[in-house]
Chains A and B, each alone.
Chain A
Amino acid sequence: MANWLHDAQYSLVVFTLFIQATVGAFWVLLVSDFLKRKAPDKVQDAFTRIGTAILIPMTAVGLIFSTTHLGRPIYAWRALRHFETSWMSREIWATGAFFGLIAIYTYLWWKRVEDAEFRRLVGVMTGLVGSFAVLTQAMIYTIPGRPMWNHWSTLVLFVASVLILGPLAVATAYSFAWGRHISLADGEATVRKSHRRLGLTLLAGAVTYGVGLMARVSFLQAGSAAAGSTPGAHGSAAVGAETVKTALWIGEAVMSQYAWMLTLQVVLGIGLPVLLAVALWLLHKRGASLRLCNALIAASLFLVLLGELTGRALFYLTGRPWF
């Protein structure tokens, strides 16, 4: 089990997903910050403020897990040195800056709520830095050294995680706040509105995830099929550029070996968000209890996260050494 967890890069699985979830959550909060710019809405403000409380803990979890991947975590700061050419160094810069900026953004929401224009300026910068952090994460894996990852679907899958996990995390925070920090009567309309937006975002995320995953699976399968018709590629005797086919063949073989993980990824990572979006639409249409909707969202967050963790672990498992 320990070896499997190491091969699946559990620390990087948690790190990448939690940072992506935080970036997604941040964008949701920033958009809601901007949406009520012309029509002040104190209830929405209260929800957004509580929503910002999840940002620092989520990023902190990601950053802590990132250091467990290192052989000498005490020297982790040295990774800032080589931003000129190293995407990993750029990732550490971007993630560190994102962490600092969300701390400022959260502080502004909680301690200087009246300074809205400055907060939004910080918010835009934070959103851009966070998005750049996700790009750097994808670029780290888009390398010829691991042909199984060296494909545009890597970026698409990472963006899909931003679109799915972030809004779900914020919606769960809203659910928690409603009835505890914001009265049931005051908050109901805002929560219902947020559920409609959540449904649309989840559908967009699920489509993005589906496109990315289909592209990735097709990429590996096509490479594997090509290896079958290339002398030596189903072993260790392909030559030159043909050796990439051997790598894709290995990636596809690992994916087949862990077909249950792919199934879980599809069902929980794509199917469940779509199901939740449809369920929320139907429940709200019939005026169903908000408590039921909130319970569904919280349960979905847990299950979708499980699906995404599984999918990301499979991503790492397929990137096996090929020579």
Chain B
Amino acid sequence: MTTTQKGFHADMEKCIGCKCCEAACKDFYRMPPEIRWRKVRSFEMGEFPSALRVHLSLACNHCEDPACMKGCPVEAYTKRGKDGLVIHDPTACIGCQYCTWTCPYGVPQFDPEQGVVSKCNGCYQRIDEGLMPKCVESCLTGALTFGEVDQHAATQRQVVKEAPGFPDPSITNASTRFAWPLKGPQPERQLPIAPPKDGEKHG
């Protein structure tokens, strides 16, 4: 089967840091208070007097070469063939927490109450039903989108692999892509923007 890697695209220009994505995810999956599969990080870019307050919404990056899956001693992780989503099976997990070390992005989180790790599975059940992940669906500004990496409509403005503070994506070939704020420092490298596919509207 040919994998069509899917992933999230986070537009830092559009994100207002409302954390609706975080809340929707937590609510949908009824997570305990200390577990957040999606986290919105806020930080400063640039220098005074043109410093910016920027927000970055991140969850699992569904990497093409997932370090969590390679390191997991119990094979609790699988990568779906059809869309490249990295799925964690908590029933197989023994709570060794090694994935919380191997993942550079701090994605897997240990729940001491359950004794297992959990992470964003990309709402794969919803994807299979033709729906969007809960976080994407709840985003007020359209900053967070999901689809085929580097190909889906929201990537029209800008496609960048790196984001400020985001650990080197080349370690695992993270599939999350970013668009940087219009003002302030600009990324050194951008990926070419793919032409729209038949029947798909950009913008």
Of A71, A141, A232, which is within 8 A of B110 by CB? A71
Q: Is the CB of B165 within 8 A of A232?
A: yes
Within 8 A of B (CB), among A60-117: 69-73, 75-76, 78-82, 85-89, 92
Whether the pair A87, B94 counts as a contact (CB closer than 8 A) is: no
Expressed in whole angstroms, the Cα–Cα distance for A87 and B102 within the complex equals 11
Report chain A residues within 8 Å CB of B105: 323
From B2-10, B68-76, B80-88, B132-140, give the one contacting chain A.
B68-76
Name which of B41, B97, B117, B161 has the most chain A CB atoms within 10 A of its CB: B97
Question: In the complex, are the beta carbons of A82 and B73 less than 8 A apart?
Answer: yes
Q: Assess whether A144 is in contact with B104, with CB atoms less than 8 Å apart.
A: yes
Number of interface residues of B (CB under 8 A): 45
Contact segment of B119-127, B144-152, B166-174, B195-203: B166-174
B103 A145 Cβ-Cβ under 8 A: yes
Contacts of A144 in B (CB 8 A): 67, 104, 168, 171
Size category of the A interface is 35 or more
Q: How many Å lie between the Cα of A22 and that of B72 in the bound state?
A: 26
Which of A172-180, A199-207, A212-220, A235-243 lies on the face that meets chain B? A235-243
B43 with A323: CB separation less than 8 A: no
Interface residues of A: mostly helix, strand, loop or mixed?
loop
A321 at the interface (CB under 8 A from B): yes
A140 to B162: give the CA distance in the assembly, Å.
27
**Which residue numbers of B lie inside 8 Å of A, CB to CB?**
41, 43-45, 67, 70-75, 92-98, 100-106, 110-112, 114-117, 161-171, 187-188
Chain A residues within 8 Å of B, Cβ to Cβ: 69-73, 75-76, 78-82, 85-89, 92, 140-141, 143-146, 232, 235-241, 243-244, 246-247, 319, 321-323
Q: Please provide the 4 A-B residue pairs with the shortest distance between their CB atoms, ordered closest to farther.
A: A71-B95, A71-B115, A236-B165, A89-B73
